[in-house]
A and B are shown apart, each in its own frame.
Chain A
Amino acid sequence: MSLNEIGSMVAMQGFSGLSLFTVLLLMALGLAIIFGQMGVINMAHGEFMAIGAYTVYLCSQLTQNFAPGLREVYFVPAVVVAFFVAAAVGYAVEVLLIRRLYKRPLDTLLATWGLSLAMQQFFRSFINPKEVSAELPEWLLGAFNPTPSIQVPKNGIFVMGLTILVSAGVYLLMLRSRWGIRIRATTQNRIMSSAVGINTDRVDRFTFALGCGIAGLAGAAFTTIGSTGPTSGSLYIVDTFLVVVFGGAANLIGTIASAFSIAQAQSLLEFFLTSAMAKVLTLLTIIIILMIRPQGLFTTKVRT
């Protein structure tokens, strides 16, 4: 096998790793915002992702049935709609359920697990118990060929672009906007913030809705990679939590770093071993590192 081929293999494998990284990061960003900033464990996070994916699927069905001409262009608006639908549901859930459980993280865990079961059944009963796929537009199918032997999947590029956009957006929001100041203030010192006049309840709701909205975006991105079923959300939930916990829950840089390392490690191991062993080894390594450094890779020493 020539050096050229090895080179292109490395490039493609590296790209697989990057692909997995963006997937993990999109999922983890939403959770990091919720868990890191609010200390709320949302076991239903996977189902918010599924909401996003189903929204895109439904938009695809609508387009097919009513406006077939829009087939090529419906996708991006569908993704945006997915964000808002997931955020709206997140908002509702926060008001009805989460706000009563702020002081009790373990109970939040259980309650949101129950919520995830109910949501899964909702998908099963009202949308479709079988797995479904959105019809992807032409420009998302197939691969780029930068060189004859390197093939870069187009949907991977799309997901990566989306992730960069979302990360930039979150960065701008958190560190450069008024809302960001309010969120960070509430995290650091809730009592002082509300004494200073920030409506902490509203900030909480907004943060939760934002986190769920990002989860919806992640789900929308996944429709390019695989199918969506009622239990799709639960496939990712533990990985997402580990990424967030590993990265140090309060920090977005930490989330990015942890998603990157976990993705590359798993992808590389998968190439040399079987996928089951790769997963086991990756998880074991994470746990061992967490035992040595329980607060995660990066931490900010701020907690109420």
Chain B
Amino acid sequence: MQLVSTHRNRALRGALALVTSGALLCAAATLSGCNKSSAAATGDPGASKTEKLSAAPAATERSTEASGAAVLTPPGLEKSTAKASDFPTAKIMTTGLKVDDDSVTVGILHSTTGTMAISETGSVQAEKLAIAQINALGGILGRQIKVIQEDGASDWPTFAEKARKLLVNDKVAAVMGCWTSASRKAVLPVFEKENGLLYYPTFYEGLEQSKNVFYTGQEATQQILASLDWVNKEKKAKSFYLIGSDYIWPRTSMKIARKHIENVLKGTVVGEEFAPLGNTQFGSIINKIKLKKPDVIFAAVVGGSNVAWFKQLNAAGVTAANQTLLTISVTEDEVLGIGGENLVGFFSSMKYFQSLDNPNNKSFVEAFKKMWGEKSVIGDVTQAGYLGPWIWKAAVEKAGSFDVDKVVAASPGIEIKIAPEGYVKVHENHHLWSKARIGKAKADGQFEVVHESDLIEPNPFPKGYQ
């Protein structure tokens, strides 16, 4: 009778099976180029946290695709001739933040893991590009910018904790960070108490204005109202079905949208649904929408849920041919995950699209792709993230100091003429003048711009909408 196999044999077999399957997975991953592109796309967050983004980013682990040459800088900007000695540290920093004779430290606080990583990675890349370009042009007040990056992990309490760490422990001069309104609300008390400075890049619901925050993305009137007006005029839309993810931004956005639809456009809201963040089962909701047959589906589904939402819409036979859909939460980043074929013909309202045809954008896209890979896509929030460091730099130079209070005082009125979206100006309420654009999704993941408004003045507290 054959003996029962020994422990060792079994363990060996088991280990062999594990190693084989692990090797198969890794091999397939590398072969399909996953590893490389993901390292480039996500900026490899595991690499060193504090590093000087010098003029040669290829030196760091990050841009594995960069050719090793210096980062491309916006055309028309000259290298700054400011010397650190012209600005003695004691004069330009009086509040104990991390500034010395040759460097200044800023923080980057975004989610590189979790359900929001799909959206926030672009912001990190853009902020780092901007900082690299600024450094290549001589830095700010003769000092190079160093970066400390923290991961919020799509978890708002973690955002608050990391924000406190950046401000209290690391004493950074400014933070580029946050994406969801939930994360911003969680860190706001920290920034106000510690008198920090946050550059917040996402389009959001407005109804907020803080001394310590600059909002480089659109607020509701610049995005929601403009897009509703357009779809009402162009598509004669009267009935709307509102759907969003269940947290503050979609809820507040839909509250504003409803008021606008009912009071100004004299239309009707035939349904309103909110699905939990991370939800992937939209079957019943889609059936309800089909039942009501709205003129327009107005969608604010966020993060990973977007993929399930659009895939299932498509699978249920809802396409642009038979239904108009206007979304305020899909940029080129999300399309990458959803798949362009699921979105063809749907409309998105943003202030920036990668396909914008102006010289600023051309050089921006070129520089971005050089640093982060040819396959990179650039969405609205990514561009807004790009603006943050430039606005900060302009304000610091105007104030001649890194002190938060002086920078804040110097900011209103600052114009950024190299903005990829064309032109922006900082308003007294810490928001930006910018245009609203409507894009029609194409199968290749890009958008065709079908409408562009004039510069809209930001108004985070619109009368009648609260």
Direct contact of A and B (CB under 8 A): yes
* Beta-carbon contact of B11 and A96 below 8 Å: yes
Tell me if A's interface is mostly helix, strand, loop or mixed: helix
* Beta-carbon contact of A227 and B337 below 8 Å: yes
Closest-CB distance, B367 to chain A (whole angstroms): 22
* Beta-carbon contact of B113 and A124 below 8 Å: yes
* Beta-carbon contact of B33 and A61 below 8 Å: yes
Tell me the complex Cα distance, A58–B33, Å: 10
- A292 adjacent to chain B (CB < 8 Å): no
* Beta-carbon contact of A12 and B287 below 8 Å: yes
Tell me the complex Cα distance, A53–B97, Å: 47
User: Of all chain A residues, which has the CB nearest B280?
Assistant: A226
- B338 adjacent to chain A (CB < 8 Å): yes
* Beta-carbon contact of B339 and A127 below 8 Å: no
- B311 adjacent to chain A (CB < 8 Å): yes
Which B263-297 residues have C-beta < 8 A from chain A?
A: 273-276, 278-281, 283-285, 287-288, 290-291
Which B1-36 residues have C-beta < 8 A from chain A?
A: 4, 10-11, 13-15, 17-18, 20-22, 24-26, 28-29, 31-35
Which A115-164 residues have C-beta < 8 A from chain B?
A: 124-133, 135, 141-143, 145, 151, 153-156
* Beta-carbon contact of B317 and A267 below 8 Å: no
* Beta-carbon contact of B316 and A153 below 8 Å: yes
Q: Which of B114-122, B190-198, B389-397, B450-458 contacts A (4 or more CB under 8 A)?
A: B114-122
Which A264-284 residues have C-beta < 8 A from chain B?
A: 267, 270-271, 274-276
Interchain Cβ contacts within 8 Å, total number = 176
Tell which of A55, A62, A93, A130 touches B117, judged by Cβ atoms closer than 8 Å: A130
- 1/0 per residue, CB under 8 A from A, across B40-77: the answer is 01100110000000000000000000000000000000
Closest-CB distance, A117 to chain B (whole angstroms): 13
- 1/0 per residue, CB under 8 A from B, across A280-297: the answer is 000000000000000000
Tell me the complex Cα distance, A20–B312, Å: 13
Tell me the complex Cα distance, A242–B459, Å: 49
* Beta-carbon contact of A227 and B304 below 8 Å: yes
A88-B17, A88-B20 known; A275 vs B285 contact (CB < 8 Å): yes
User: Of all chain B residues, which has the CB nearest A13?
Assistant: B287
Tell which of A65, A126, A155 touches B35, judged by Cβ atoms closer than 8 Å: A126
- A16 adjacent to chain B (CB < 8 Å): yes
Q: Which residues of B contact A1 (CB under 8 A)?
A: 291
Identify the 6 closest CB pairs spanning chains A and B, nearest first: A95-B14, A61-B32, A92-B18, A226-B308, A16-B283, A153-B315
16 contacts between A and B (CB under 8 A): A9-B290, A9-B291, A16-B283, A58-B29, A94-B14, A95-B13, A128-B42, A129-B113, A153-B316, A224-B311, A225-B312, A227-B337, A267-B284, A275-B273, A275-B276, A276-B246
